[in-house]
Structures are given as structure tokens and as C-alpha cells.
Amino acid sequence: MSGNGAAQTPRTYWAVVVLYLVALAVAVTLLPLRLAELLQLAGSSAASLGALLSWVLRTPGDAPINYLFEAGAVRAMGHAAWVVRIPSVLFALGSAWVFWKLAVRANLGKRTIALLIFLFLPLHYQAATEGRPFEQALFFTLLSYLLFFRLVQAPSITRTASYASVLVACLYSDATSFFVSVGSILGLFVFMRSKAIRRAIWHVLAAAAVAALLYLPFMVFQERLQLPYWLWDHDTVSFTQDFWAAALFRGFSGGGEIGYAVSAALLTGMIVTLWRLIKSPEQEAAWRLTFVCFLSGSVLAIVMSVFAGFWASKPFSPEQLLFAMPGCVLLLASALDWVFVKASSAGWLAAGTLLLLLAAGDYTFLTAQYQNFEALAQVAVQEITNDSCVVFLSEKLSRSLFDVIEPRLRRKECQNFFYNRILLLSHPYVLPDEQEDGEQYFRGLNYHEVKRRRAGGGVVVVLEQDPAKETSSLERESILPGE
């Protein structure tokens, strides 16, 4: 590379990172906190470390490290949405740096395009702007790739210990991120004929085994203590639903319906690079090893994550596939390099089309938000009077959802029904039958609806009781919601 080219590359990188930081700032400041973020915030805001860890152990699939980062930010600066998301933003910037290092190591020709695809893939953009552990785990996944290749290149006790430490961080951020390393290690077995590779395999296996053993006690405790019920976001996929595979295929890249096209592009890039690996045995050995490990790490991460979700019999979040995405993007970038060599115009057309799809998917993510728990809580507070109390209509974690964003609601929770005014507070995840059962119960206690206010995807139903009025059962049945 010429001196000008070497100087140009860092400027291009920083230009992309600045653009990305602006895009992150837009999302973290404008979007309201979502369900999963509020549930994590309930744990991060716990009064003690013991209470925080207890919440983590009761939460299906979560691990403690991100809670500790978030707890520090919240205690220092409050629980505004941008504060809750600060750890994810910082780890996203770190992920950009490590991804660039991997692109350099893979000797990609169009590194800037690869970086843009990686950063603005809708699923990644969502994770980077969300107060959840996925972006942190992705950062450690990328770092584990980097340390993995360095360990394979020159095995040593120090490098083995460093690799093991990062794998522990992966597991205690999000356990499914560990599957990438398992797949990468299996990819090394393709090159078993090399004595150097056989020696490296022992080091990486030792590091993975140590990390797994250090995570095992936490896994056992969580399996015993996690809650049997949970509130799951609407973008999760249940393996009992029809066409769940299609939903996961779309969700792998995110961005709504555009996800089908983006996921298809990623799959095509993987297939093209696999074809090149098979048909071009004369390629440089380091290039082949790098992309075989990217391929095996990505494929195994997808398969094992889906299998683990199926085995657990719980709704599956597409974000659990996020950790396979860096390898998939690098494989796609390698395929794009090949297209650029064959026909530059075709390469620019493919890259430009894909980037436009990513922009459209990110726009869909930014504009498709319908739930706003804070707006709903403010509406409920406006309806509180001295002679009123609040009923959280769904028992499942409703108190925890509103505890942090609006403590006044918890303080006004009904301990009895001797109040003249009852507020039924239903968040966006209250089921229709739960709503109907709750309203019917209070109609039976001679309460009648005087107001129904919708906000943030939820509803506040204001009920009042007139002790002097005797309402017949027929009359009570005629007072239907909305009439």
C-alpha cells in the first residue's frame, strides 16, 4: 500500500465512525426505553449488589456484567434513556475499532464498505442503541476473534490466558456469544495436517475449557432460580408459531420486511466465499484459515443459538444471532472484493444497493416504535387524586416496569378497594383477556368507567364508584369499554 493510501485509510475510518456516532446519538436520545431495557433497568437500579445479582439470576438468559456497567451509569447520572444506553454506545465504538482490525487482518480491499455494512446493519444498530448486554457481548466476541488469530499465529501461555479471559467476559455478557468461539475452534480442525495448528488447537481448547468451567456455577444457579414466567418483546420468535424459520431469517439482519433482502445478501456472500474456499485451494494459507474460521464460527453460532432456544422452550430473540453477524459481514465483504475484481461497476451497484437497504431498515427501526412506558406513566400520574389508587392490571412484572420511571405509581398502588377512584394501568403487553377480566371484576364491585386514556401503546382506565347508586347487573353489563 502506498503512503497516500495508508494515510487515507485512517481518515476514512474516522469519517465513518463520526457518522455512526451521530446516528447513535439520534436513536439513544429520541427513542423511548423499550420493554427489555426497562426490565434490565429494574435490576440495575437495585439498592444493593445482592439485589442486583438476585434479579440477574431470576432473569432468563441474562448475565451480570452489563448490569454492573449500567448500574454505575444510572447511579452517577440518573435513568434517562441516553444514560441507560451509554454502555452500549461505548461498546459499539469499541466494536467498530476491533472490526476494522479484523478487516485489515483479513486483507479486505473495500474495508470502508465492510465497516459501513457492519455498523449500519439494522439488527446491530438496534443493539448499539439499546440498554441491553448484546453490544457489550458483541465487542467481546470481536475481541475474541482477534485474540484467537493471534494465539493461533504464535501460541503462548500469556496469549492463552488473554483469550480465556475474553471468553469469560463473553459468557458473563451473553452466553450465546460463546458459540462463535466454539465454531472458530472447530474450523481449525480443517488444518490439522499442520503441526503448528495442532499445537495451537491445544491452547485454544484449554482457554475455552477454562472459560466454560468458570461460567458453569453461574449457569447452574440461574437455571434453578430464574422466574418461570417473563415478559417477552413483540419481536421475539416462538418456535411454536408458524413460519418461525422465516421470522428468524428476517430478524437476523433486522429492519422489518427489508430484513429478508439483507439476510439474503449476507447468505449469498457467505455462499460465494465458501465456493471460493472450495474452488481456490491455491489461495494464501492465512487467508483460507481466517475465512474458514469466520465461516465455521458464524454457522455454528447460528445453529447452536437456535438449538439452545428451542431446547429452552422460550421465545427466541433475533439479537441472540447478533454474534454470528461480524463473521457473516466479513464473508460478504470478501465476496464483494471478488465482484469488484471481476467487474467494478457490478461491485459498486451491489454495495450501493445493500447500503440503501440498510439505511431503509434503520429508518424503519427508528420510526416503528410504538411503546412508550414513560408517556403511559405520565398519563396515569395526571389522573391520580387524593381518593384514588392504581391497579397494575397484569401481575407479571408490571410493578418493576414502572418502579424506576415513575415511583409515585407504586406508592399509590391499591392495598384495598375502599377508594372512590381506581386507575387500571395496562402496559402494551397486557393481554386482551387480562384487560377484560380486570375491567369486569371492578364492574362487579360497582365501579363504572368514566375515562379511558391511551398512551405509549398502553391504556389507563379510570373507574369511579358511586355508593348511593345501585346498578343492576344488566346495567353494569351495558357499560362497555369505549361507550
Q: What is the mean pLDDT of each run of 10 residues along the chain (483 residues)?
A: 45 94 95 93 92 93 94 92 96 97 94 97 96 97 97 96 98 96 96 94 97 96 86 86 90 92 96 90 83 96 92 88 96 96 95 97 90 93 92 82 87 89 92 91 91 93 74 38 34
Type and span of the H or E element at 464: strand 458-465
Residue 136 in any domain: the answer is yes
Whether residue 344 is found in the same domain as residue 212: yes
Number of Cβ within a 10 Å radius of residue 232: 17
CA distance 62 to 46: 16
DSSP track, 76-135: HH-S-HHHHTHHHHHHHHHHHHHHHHHHHHTT-S-HHHHHHHHHH-HHHHHHHTSSSSHH
Please give the single-letter amino acid code of residue 469.
K
pLDDT of residue 310: 87
> Residue with C-alpha cell 457492519?
118
Residue 137 in any domain: the answer is yes
Whether residue 253 is found in the same domain as residue 377: no
Is residue 249 within 8 Å of 328, Cβ to Cβ?
A: no
CA distance 335 to 329: 10
SS3 463: strand
pTM of this structure: 0.91
pLDDT of residue 5: 40
Whether residue 176 is found in the same domain as residue 319: yes
Whether residue 90 is found in the same domain as residue 144: yes
CA distance 31 to 80: 11
Is residue 294 within 8 Å of 327, Cβ to Cβ?
A: yes
Whether residue 272 is found in the same domain as residue 229: yes
Boundaries of domain holding 302 = 3-367
Number of Cβ within a 10 Å radius of residue 61: 18
pLDDT of residue 467: 60
SS3 452: strand
CA distance 403 to 161: 42
Whether residue 99 is found in the same domain as residue 156: yes
pLDDT of residue 474: 35
Residue 104 makes CB contacts below 8 A (sequence gap 6+) with 111
Residue 359 makes CB contacts below 8 A (sequence gap 6+) with 120
Whether residue 313 is found in the same domain as residue 208: yes
Backbone angles phi, psi at 469, to 5 degrees: -100, 125
Whether residue 358 is found in the same domain as residue 388: no
Whether residue 363 is found in the same domain as residue 409: no
Is residue 458 within 8 Å of 428, Cβ to Cβ?
A: yes
Residue 483 in any domain: the answer is no
Whether residue 454 is found in the same domain as residue 353: no
CA distance 164 to 144: 9
CA distance 236 to 248: 9
CA distance 77 to 230: 28
User: 339, 367, 395 — which closes off a domain?
Assistant: 367
User: 367, 399, 422 — which closes off a domain?
Assistant: 367
pLDDT of residue 241: 85
CA distance 84 to 76: 11
User: 367, 385, 403 — which closes off a domain?
Assistant: 367
Residue 53 makes CB contacts below 8 A (sequence gap 6+) with 64
Backbone angles phi, psi at 135, to 5 degrees: -65, -40
Residue 284 makes CB contacts below 8 A (sequence gap 6+) with none
Cell representation of residue 111: 474495508
Whether residue 333 is found in the same domain as residue 468: no
Whether residue 12 is found in the same domain as residue 160: yes
Type and span of the H or E element at 450: strand 447-455
Number of separate domains in the chain? 2
pLDDT of residue 395: 66
CA distance 168 to 146: 15
Residue 461 in any domain: the answer is yes
